[in-house]
Amino acid sequence: MKQNAFIAGIGMTRFGKHLDRGLKSLAGEAITAALADAGLSASDLNAAYMGNAAAGVITGQVCVPGQMILRSMGIGGIPVVNVENACSTAATAFQQAATMITAGMYDVVLACGFEKLYHEDKQKTFSVFSGAVDVEAMDGVLAGISKSIAACGGSHDSSGSGKSRSLFMDIYAAWALEHMQRYGTTREQFAAVSAKNSEHGSLNPKAQFRSKISVEEVLDAREIAWPLTLPMCSPIGDGAAAVILVSERKARELGTARMVRVEASQLHSGWDYTEGEETVAEKAAREIYETAALGPSDLDCVELHDASAPSEILYYEYLGLCAKGDGGKFVEDGHSSLGGRLPVNTSGGLMRKGHPIGATGIAQIVELTQQLRGEAGDRQVEGARIALAENGGGFIGNDAAAMVLTLLSR
């Protein structure tokens, strides 16, 4: 939907392994930074949308994670909405917060995503991802993955799914093989995504991984699920990201010099479509471009959901950044690199910045806000004025269960 909200403040932790920190510590750091960046105090908040996906499994905190965090900061009395929507949790919290401001309900709203995924028992961590599909049809999910891989001439050993690797890596492996078979995409092109994002992540002080890796190093790394190697897969992580959204009236009161406008932000769910229909990402992209009267050619930078290297290539195409089947060539030719035609995942993306699933969507917004403000440092996209974030989550049927797209402008 068309929005009329403004980003006044942003904050996030460094993503990574934080076994010694709890959700209060991580979220508190991000929220405090966002309020300071906006020049506001906790008493200015009218409401809060708090996103978390895994606390019930990893820490045992259920039902009131947002209230638990905010009360520890002395924040109470305001409406607090807890949001859980798989990997698009934080983006959904952001979309809901912006929508309530646009509707005229509030002037100052906090949207925060926070997550802990690291646990001494890796099975707990993997179970979070296994729970992001239809668990009552798990046999069918695994059979569907095997069928897709077999149709591409491969074989699928499901014994490690959800045990030695995230179930989603099997899903992404199937996507990769299908794209390779249909369009001739190569493993080298998938590896180019990982190498490109490592270059970007090396410039981001908040990224989980800051070392650069080459295409050859990606290909030589440990195999996770053919054709994917470890650097082609997003890692688990802990962290938090927060945004302060304000109304147009409040933006004028505070001063608009550093404000970023939310042009549109839309939440979609997948459906049981047939072969040849639009995917949820394609439908969401078409609708948000129409809503904002903008198109792919207007974009200056994009943060998209590269939960795997093949995912990034697919979303180039779904978002209209290139033609169907040209995603591999798009990255190979440097178009999505800093200095290229349309830089994608200047933060390092999920694969290098990290992927604490409940925080990821707002972390994308933080990166794009820095780009549009001209405050991204060594990874700055020159003259960035319009940016797009895409954040998908879960898997039901043959596509993402939830999808949020957001268009921002300076």
What contacts 318, CB < 8 A, 6 or more positions away?
A: 279, 281, 282, 285
| Annotation marks residue 87 as catalytic | yes
Give the Cα separation of 397 and 132 in Å (integer). 12
The dihedral built from the CA positions of residue 55, 369, 352 and 323, taken in this order, carries a sign that is positive
User: What crossing angle do the helices spanning 309-318 and 187-201 adopt, rounded to 10°?
Assistant: 90
| Helix residue spans in 184-263 (DSSP H) | 187-201, 215-220, 248-254
Q: Using an 8 Å Cβ cutoff, are 323 and 169 in contact?
A: no
Choose the catalytic residue: 18, 63, 87, 335. Answer: 87
Q: Using an 8 Å Cβ cutoff, are 197 and 340 in contact?
A: no
Give the Cα separation of 41 and 79 in Å (integer). 16
Q: Using an 8 Å Cβ cutoff, are 238 and 27 in contact?
A: no
User: What is the bridge-based pairing of β-strands 386-396 and 399-409?
Assistant: antiparallel
Name which of 296, 314, 311, 279 is nearest 183 in CA terms.
314
Q: Using an 8 Å Cβ cutoff, are 165 and 130 in contact?
A: no
- H or E element that contains 110: strand 108-115
Q: Using an 8 Å Cβ cutoff, are 42 and 74 in contact?
A: yes
- State the DSSP string of 270-315: ---PPTTSPPHHHHHHHHHHHHHT--GGG-SEEE---SBHHHHHHH
Choose the catalytic residue: 156, 179, 200, 355. Answer: 355
Q: What are phi and psi of 178, to 5 degrees?
A: -65, -40
Name which of 303, 318, 310 is nearest 170 in CA terms.
310
Q: Which residues are catalytic?
A: 87, 355
